[in-house]
Structure 1
Amino acid sequence: MAEMVRQKTKTYDLVYISIFVVLIAICSWISIPLTVPVTLQTFGVFMAVGLLGGKRGTLAVLVYILMGTLGIPVFSGFTGGIGIIAGTTGGYIVGFLFSALLMWGMEKAFGRSTAVLALSMVLGLVLCYAVGTLWFMAVYGASSGAIGILTVLGWCVFPFIIPDVAKIVLALILTRRLSGVIQR
């Protein structure tokens, strides 16, 4: 009987992870046409970890990144491949994994209260920005010459802060409303 329960749990885990890999991909394809187009990738990452918990949510993010790296067009603009990861904005995609890991760590250390989840999402976003910005500076600097941090922040971070905060708020609301639906 215990073996059947474990097998059922593993099946649920695989299904949930797969669903959220697809959700993150769909979110990456949705582009909101503002001055700088905004996608919903970070929203998908926050939802995955928020609803699935740290372990399964982080696995969903990792599988999403691996699929895109292998060339499956799951990234923004229906793109994929190692060239996207190796490009100037690839660090922000890699940053999704660091965000998920940070959220998982905070969940393990401090629990799953709304306050902890909100703080972990904000800190995860900051970590994603940091990884992505450093990556951008390194890749851009190698191909086009040195670039200042304020210039990169102006291109890659500042225009996204308000939309990303809105995504965090929406992810928190939906996570709290849907948390009873997902089996833990």
Structure 2
Amino acid sequence: MRLSAKRLTRLAMLSAVLCLVAPLKLDIGTVPITLQTFVVALAGALLGPLDGLIAVGIYLLLGLAGLPVFAGWMSGFAYFVGPTGGFLVGFLALAALTGLRRWWSGLPGLAAVYLLGTAWLMKVTGLALGAALWAGVWPFVVKDMASVALAFALGKVLQRRLAI
């Protein structure tokens, strides 16, 4: 697939939106509440599976490179491999699967975020499965499902209106 100016612009814009929104957080428990899930799902819904994955990958690489784009204006390798790292990696699956543009496609993506995030959280913190689920999944399920559904719906509208 060619990297046209239009495609490059869309990738850059969605990566930039994610970089601007993701650092804003509300601290509740181990995993902060952010708009990351919404914007990651929106990237997939707007750009499709490959470009959604690339846009989120750019965001992750910028954070790894030291730009303060992760929740709470954090960055770097140490943050990436910390308790929330699995959720960040799971965002790649969320963007790609939401990019399939089916009403249900964000649900397996969200499941991947939770699966990777929970396993990573257990490994890094030593939490048992139940505690990890209470720290990183259960408090966020309703908000995240609503975020993915809203991102999917908004993506459909924006695709029609902006001819994306």
Query: Which residue of structure 2 aligns with residue 99 of structure 1?
Result: 94
Greater RCO (CA < 8 Å, at least 6 residues apart): 2
Q: What are the residue-to-residue correspondences of 1:1-184 with 2, within 5 Å?
A: 10-32=4-26, 37-104=32-99, 107=100, 112=101, 116=102, 118-141=103-126, 147-184=127-164
- One-letter amino acid of the counterpart of residue 136, structure 1: L
Following superposition, the deviation at residue 20 of structure 1 comes to: 0.3
Q: Is contact 2:98-2:152 (8 Å) kept?
A: no
Instruction: Return the alpha-carbon distance in structure 2 between the equivalents of residues 181 and 62 of structure 1.
Output: 26
Give the match for residue 144 of structure 1: none
Note the residue ranges of structure 1 that are not aligned, 5 or more in a row: 1-5, 142-146
**Greater helix share, structure number:** 1
Query: In the TM superposition, what is the alpha-carbon distance from 1:165 to its structure 2 partner?
Result: 1.5
Instruction: Output the CA distance in 2 between the equivalents of 1:178 and 1:34.
Output: 32
**Please, what TM-score do these two structures have when normalized by structure 1?**
0.80
Higher alpha-carbon deviation: 162-171 or 31-40: 31-40
Contact 2:90–2:113 (CA<8 Å) still a contact in 1?
yes
Aligned length: 163
| In 1, Cα distance between equivalents of 2:73 and 2:161 | 30
| Post-superposition offset of 1:80 | 0.7
Q: CA RMSD in A?
A: 2.1
Q: Secondary structure at the match of 1:39?
A: coil
Letter in 2 for 1:139: V
Greater mean alpha carbon deviation, residues 56-65 or residues 92-101: 92-101
Contact 2:44 2:94 in 1 (8 A): no
Check 1:183–1:55 CA distance in 2 against 1; reply closer, same or farther (3 A cut): farther
- Amino acid of the residue matched to residue 61 of structure 2? L
Q: Is the 8 A contact 2:23 2:74 kept in 1?
A: no
Give 1:37 deviation, angstroms: 4.7
Give the letter for the 1:169 counterpart. Answer: A
* Cα distance in 2 for residues equivalent to 1:183 and 1:10: 16
If the length of structure 2 is used for normalisation, what is the TM-score?
0.89
Bigger radius of gyration among the two: 1
Question: Residues of 2 paired with 1:40 and 1:103: CA distance?
Answer: 16
Q: Which moved more, 1:90-99 or 1:151-160?
A: 90-99
Identity across aligned pairs (percent)?
34
Deviations 1:28-72 (A, max 9, x none): 123356687520001111000101111111110111001101111
* Contact 1:29-1:75 within 8 A present in 2 as well: yes
- Give every structure 1 segment of 4 or more consecutive aligned residues whose post-TM-superposition deviation is greater than 6 Å: 33-36
Contact 1:52 1:182 in 2 (8 A): no
